[in-house]
Amino acid sequence: MIEFDEQQKRLVLKLVYYGPALSGKTTNLLCLHDQLQQEGRGELMLLDTTEDRTIYFDLLPFFYVAPSGLKIKLKVYTVPGQVRHDATRKAVLQRADGVVFIADSLLSQQGVNAESFANLEQNLSMVGLAIEQLPLVVQFNKQDLPGVVPEAELRETWGPTGLPVLMASALQGWGVLETFQAAVEGVFDAVDQKLGLQERFQVSRDDFVAALIKVEKP
């Protein structure tokens, strides 16, 4: 949680897209930006990149105002996936309310996924977040490509973790909204448990999710 000001009725939350390099974190955000209505979200801010690789982070903010007047801002960030930017990943992870782990479905990248996930666990503990209590959603991206690990196998591997696992192709635009929705619901539930969003601020879960995920009409 970045900020909660009860007097100003202001709540700022953070959702972080984590994962190995080139797994499609920025593409996920671009896809959200394209598919969701402008109402309820801000512009996508891409900080400096080198050769199209994120070196700082990307940011896409979402807004929601509850009937009680509570203004909720959800800031969605990506981290740089390259191993060398570990310090930046750690900085972005600070005070996260939820994490979306974008994994690469390619068979050749399974080791990299595991390394990155271990890195996530380590960095979460270093910034003082307990992975068991943090809403975490796993997305296997690039499902459109040949040479990916079959879904059944991925589910068999990741099922025991108890984490929501979703298949997607950010490039083709499917699975991205579902992933985002699962993450937003997780974040809402976690924050609700801490602050009593529904009871004290009359924030409805469905309203909140619907407000953030307003699909652009074709």
Does 63 bind another protein (CB under 8 A)? Our answer is yes
The answer to the question of residue 2 lying near another protein (CB under 8 A) is yes
Number of residues located near another protein, criterion CB under 8 A? 25
Q: Report yes or no: 212 and 62 within 8 Å, Cβ to Cβ.
A: yes
For another protein, the binding residue among 30, 59, 120, 212 (CB under 8 A) is 59
Q: Does 83 bind another protein (CB under 8 A)?
A: no
Q: How far is the CB of 10 from another protein (least distance, A)?
A: 8
Looking at the Cβ atoms of 41 and 142, the one nearer to another protein is: 41
Reduce the DSSP state of residue 98 to 3 states and report it. strand
18 lies in the binding site for another protein (CB under 8 A): no
Question: Is residue 32 within 8 Å of 177, Cβ to Cβ?
Answer: yes
Q: DSSP readout, 84-147?
A: GGHHHHHHHHTT-SEEEEEEE-BGGGHHHHHHHHHHHHHHHHHTT--TTTS-EEEEEE-TTSSS
What is the C-alpha separation between 6 and 114, in angstroms, rounded? 40
C-alpha Rg value of the chain to the nearest Å = 17
List 83, 87, 131, 145, residue binding another protein (CB under 8 A): 87
Under the binding rule (CB under 8 A), the answer on residue 90 touching another protein is yes
Write out the residues near another protein by the rule CB under 8 A. Answer: 2-3, 12, 14, 41-43, 45, 47-48, 56-57, 59, 61, 63, 73, 75, 77, 87-88, 90-92, 94-95
